[in-house]
Amino acid sequence: MKLVDYVNLDYVPKKDDLIAMFYVEKAPDCIDLEHAAMEIAKESSIGTWTDIVTMSREIAERLKPATFFIDHENDIIKVAYTHELFESENLPQILSAIAGNIYGMKKLNNLRLLDVSFPQKILEKYKGPKYGIKGVQDLLGISERPILGTIVKPKVGLTELQHAKVCGKAWSGGLDIVKDDENLTSMVFNKFEKRVEETLKLRNQIEDQTGEKKIYMPNITAPLEIMKERADFVLKKGGEYVMIDVITVGFSALQEIREYLEDKEVVIHAHRAMHAALTRNKKHGITMLALAKLMRLIGVDQLHTGTVVGKMEGPKREVLEINRVITEPIITGNNRTMLDQNWFDIKPVLPVASGGLSPLDVPDLINILGTDMVFQFGGGCHGHPEGTEAGAKAIRQAVKATLEERSLGDYARDHIELRKAIQKWGN
């Protein structure tokens, strides 16, 4: 088919079109950006590498996509696809089209899916988050401050009882949630069922002692049927949360487990382990923003999105835009990083900042990211000179000081845990 069939700069997207925005770096033997756009639109829809006798004008006119925007200065294109090209409730199929074979084309040196805008006709096939931000805050009884948590450290190596004791120290010190590490599932030295049982038993005791709601997020990541069994076990033992490594389990398994948990009272915490294999190269792959939208669509309740500060990669603007697309009901896009998106009835996702944080980062975290957040401190809790419980207290103290508009140094005069945190991690 001819160039004009796939590139139409006069095309106005229809309300039921799916829009994909790409960064494109053409190969030297590709004539120009228009030809690269043609190849992308063609390969991601009804075309192939040569003319074929089985292609009718009727098929072409009904299903052909249109590249309707080309930014030569920034090498960005937008492609509109009719919703009929997709099995709406089948996210793997959608991604096989707009993020599939096109990455392997010789005409391209690099290709990056910047964003996807889903029409209501596709959105209505998905449940989105069951709890969302308000649901999680209501469950914990927290709305005026960020939810605070930690990750059990070391990542792996502790026995079930040792793991539970670390959780207990964190809860006793004032943290709200404790989660498994992303690579802790059911190990020879730490079996899933015993860990969950021992940790939730201690959780119940700490709740009675403190009068505060405490949450344990066990990692149920596994093949689908095992994930279902583990989720059921957590619920049987009184847990309210499960954690899933959402990239490594795959979109199909994530859709299935979300559907399975629909009639159960359980919050889904999404860890994004392996995302950087797709997102970190700024010229190739898929943006974290696009992945985050897929997670909101499927229906996780909490998602790691970046910290701005801390050890993990993530520029300020990027993290803020990711948080916007998973929390706001209507997004007004731009021609560089985001597309317009109306989420209609789909609830927001609670963003999680985690990775290399200490109590000293709290003022910046609140100032930049706000309080409708989960802040998680791993080494910044367990690395406190006086141990995990003192680390948890220092985190709560840092939050209280910040919300009272007091400097950490001033507040630390009367709070030894924060003072020792400043002595260890301060400049």
Catalytic residue ranges: 153, 271
State the Cα–Cα distance between residues 53 and 350, nearest whole angstrom.
50
State the Cα–Cα distance between residues 279 and 259, nearest whole angstrom.
27
Tell which residue, 277, 262, 266, has the closest CA to residue 243: 266
What tokens does 376 get? 């998680």
What tokens does 271 get? 């860890």
State the Cα–Cα distance between residues 256 and 279, nearest whole angstrom.
24
Q: Which residue has the tokens 């960005």?
A: 76
- 44: region left, alpha or beta (phi > 0 left; psi from -120 to 50 alpha): alpha
Handedness of CA 14, 19, 24, 28 (dihedral sign): negative
Tell which residue, 64, 128, 54, has the closest CA to residue 91: 128
Q: Which residues of 356-382 are buried (b: 16+ CB within 10 A; e: fewer)?
A: ebbbbbbbebbebbebbbbbbbbbbbb
